Amino acid sequence: MAERYSSFQSGGRMWLLQRITAVFLLVVLAFHFFLLHFVHHADEVSFLASSARMESLSYYSLMILFLVTATFHGVNGVYNALVNQGLTGTKRTVIKWTLVAASVVLIAQGIRTANAWAGIGLY
């Protein structure tokens, strides 16, 4: 049997989620860069253009899913990095919940922004 080199716990749900979000982000991040830098250009950005894109339900839902998966993948990555550095005990619990709170704020703010563009009243 092959020796395992990964420092992540085998069989963990977070381990699997980190990889599932990675596959999703590979595709959507490439799409995001391509659409907003190569199809449209950085110096052509306007509220009207952002709004027009976000008014499409498929684009809106893709961007919300992008925000949620990117936040999870990034924040879970930071948490894993800190645990690998030897973070344990109370500090680990405090940092974990601080990261959860930061994620909630980031996702809420992202959704408010998307709603503002999409013309949804909730922002």
Partner 1 sequence: MSQSYNRGLIEDFARWREFEAGMWAWIFHKFTGWVLIGYLFTHIAVLSTGIPAAGASEAAIAAGNDVYTQTIVSLEGLLLVRLLEVGLLAVAVFHMLNGTRLLLTDLGIGLDAQDKSFYASLILTGAITVASVPTFIAGAF
In angstroms, the Cα distances linking 1 to 4, 52, 74 are 9, 54, 32
Using CB under 8 A, pick the residue from 14, 35, 65, 78 that binds partner 1. Answer: 78
Give the ranges where 2-56 is alpha helix by DSSP (H). Answer: 13-33, 47-54
Over the window 11 to 50, marking each residue x when it contacts partner 1 by CB under 8 A and - when it does not, the resulting string is: --------x--xx-xx--xx--x---xx--xxx-xxxx-x
Q: Considering the rule CB under 8 A, would residue 123 count as an interface residue with partner 1?
A: yes
Q: Considering the rule CB under 8 A, would residue 104 count as an interface residue with partner 1?
A: no
The residues, any chain, with a CB within 8 Å of residue 57's CB and separated by 6 or more, are none
Using CB under 8 A, pick the residue from 52, 77, 91, 104 that binds partner 1. Answer: 77
Instruction: Round to whole Å and give the CA distance between 77 and 121.
Output: 34
Using CB under 8 A, pick the residue from 53, 68, 92, 113 that binds partner 1. Answer: 113
